[in-house]
A = this chain, B = another copy of it.
Amino acid sequence: MPIYNAPVQDIQFLLQDVLKVTETGVPGYEDLEADFTGAVLEEAGKVARDVLAPLNLSGDQEGCTLENGVVHTPKGFDKAFAAMKEGGWTALDCDPDYGGQGLPYVMGTAVGEIFVSANMAFNMYQGLTHGAYSAIHVHGTGAQKTTYLPKMVSCDWTGTMNLTEPHAGTDLGMMRTKAEPQDDGSYLITGQKIFISAGEHDLAENIIHLVLAKAPGGGEGTKGISLFIVPKFLVKEDGSLGKRNGVSVGSIEHKMGIHGNATCVMNYDAAQGWLLGDLHKGMKAMFTMMNEARLGVGLQGYAVAEAAYQNAVVYARERLQGRAVTGAENPSGPADPLIVHPDIRRSLMDQKSFVEGARALTYWGAHLIDKSKRQGDEAAEGLISLMTPVIKGFQTDKGFEMAVQAQQVWGGHGYIEENGMSQFVRDARIAQIYEGANGIQALDLVGRKLAQDGGKHVMAFFDMVKAFIKENQDDAQMKPFTDPLKAASKDLQAAAMYFMQNGLKNPNNALAGSYDFMHLMGHVCLGLMWARMAKAAFVGLAAGSGDKAFLEAKIATGHYYMTRQLPASATHLARIESGAEPVMALRAEAF
């Protein structure tokens, strides 16, 4: 069975030495002293290792089942869910007014990573509840918050998001689910939603569905869409549960992965719902949560890769095959361990340097969200809005690629389901698809975010990179970091310039390069993160304060990323600068 150990030292390094959370002045960050964050992370690591990880493979193999309208989660999920609730883990970064612990989002993100690595499918039950909690917290009336939030913070009730319909995925404007206003101010919701994660299950007393639907008078397309709260069981005035609402699960999907999470077809048959936020402003209400939701999926990308990487390392150390070309390293054994072979090293370094870089980018993103929410910092909000499609799209693509590489280290044994490496690959795959498929992320980045607010945010990002290079380029030990970062960011700027100069003539010149731009920007972001981490490591080494071996490994891993990954920028730029012509040349019938 696969193992998982929370990378507490790495997380602490990011929080304390790179982000230096207690020095940021963000309200709430003053509590994040190293002792405290270390204790929380260690405790989360224990839950992950002892409770969640042992259910990951069995949950995949058993899957969810639907019987007479009831979805059964895999064996052990109920007890593990109870343990998560009892430990207060579901309330970590929720509002204390509703029973939360009020910790910053960056801390919820770090703990979330640990739980996702241990058991992605299981953690979705809580993750989706958190998303629904956020929506009600931002858009709900006082009464709605009082009614729903405390139970959702504790996960006595879980939540869902209902967007997709069979014929309307990306293009929500074609949605058919209707909301008919009633005299008492409620609405009757009728329609079918698909791909509803955690839509029905046996882990909670009640399920609070947030449903996008069209109410009369809103006009065509996405303009007519509103967001509704539709509880599985209606909630009485006193907070107790009343009768069953007109919502039921039609079927559950047989999927490639995340088998432990029930993906449901949900049928709404005149189900009673209540407007959340403004009428006909449902899309806007959804978008306000999008940065967090997408950052959470970007996190899944590298968190699953982390778990896969840990198990690739175990195998590379234990499996004896062949001899090091430079001379036997295990002369008393029948062969050397895989880890001596350069191509295995290449694979492990690809994985390690990606995961640690993506972790840094994700925590920095969570920190920007905290700055935006807790300090009203508009620059931070603009920046995370720009970064979100990169974090989601780039990290889930690379996370999947790295899970595949981890599986490859296991050779034929990686293809056998009982070893668990296949599950990492199959689970990681969904993160590239849901919460806006990665092509949509690229479209969002190039078609919308680059030009947002007059291009202010992308300019701020370029300035940030330039400032870091300028500040550090005379430091000889930083040169192996600043030089490649400079080259890659030059390519990124050239790509943005190409879009500006050619996108107006023909927008396809920008859109045909959007996917490459997302990846090019991902590399520059991870390059910046690695340069920052290297700097923090050099500072630690000079001060003689930290764990020398850890800091040296950090620098070597960063150096690998700068040397072996950043050169991809040139290829992405060449693809982008070839424009729309090669992409659009073929007539549609010729495919």
Contact = CB atoms under 8 A, between A and B. Distances in A.
Contact of A511 (B256, B343, B571, B583): B343
A69 B171 CA distance: 52
Nearest to A559: B582
A61 to B, nearest CB: 8
A542 interface: no
Nearest to A507: B325
Nearest to A442: B343
Contacts of A164: 412
A254 interface: yes
Nearest to A508: B342
B408 A432 contact: yes
B511 A586 contact: no
Interface stretch (A75-83, A146-154, A316-324, A368-376): A316-324
Contacts of A504: none
Given A425-B256, A567-B570, A590-B553, A411 B169 contact: yes
Contacts of A325: 447, 507-508, 511
Nearest to A554: B590
Contact of A582 (B167, B563, B568): B563
Contacts of A195: 412
A563 B576 CA distance: 10
A340 to B, nearest CB: 8
Contacts of A438: 408
Interface in A328-368: 334-335, 337, 339-349, 352
Contacts of A417: 254-256
Nearest to A447: B325
Interface in A535-591: 549, 552-553, 556-557, 559-560, 563-564, 567-568, 570-571, 574-575, 578, 580, 582-591
Given A256-B417, A326-B506, A416-B253, A343 B515 contact: yes
A503 B117 CA distance: 39
A556 B578 contact: no
B437 A411 contact: yes
A413 B430 CA distance: 11
A313 to B, nearest CB: 5
Contacts of A586: 345, 349, 553, 556-557
Chain B CB within 10 A, most for which of A164, A194, A571, A584:
A571
A426 interface: yes
Interface in A436-474: 437-439, 442-443, 447
A416 B254 contact: yes
Given A321-B170, A408-B432, A507-B325, A564 B575 contact: yes
A334 B589 CA distance: 21
Contacts of A437: 408, 411-412
A408 B400 CA distance: 13
A434 interface: yes
A177 interface: no
A583 B349 contact: yes
A324 to B, nearest CB: 9
A415 interface: yes
A99 interface: no
B567 A574 contact: yes
A103 interface: no
Contact of A170 (B169, B256, B411, B570): B411
Contacts of A173: 335
A201 interface: no
A209 to B, nearest CB: 18
Chain B CB within 10 A, most for which of A171, A415, A508:
A415
Contact of A342 (B257, B512, B563): B512
9 contacts: A169-B413, A256-B415, A325-B511, A343-B511, A343-B514, A411-B437, A412-B434, A412-B437, A560-B583
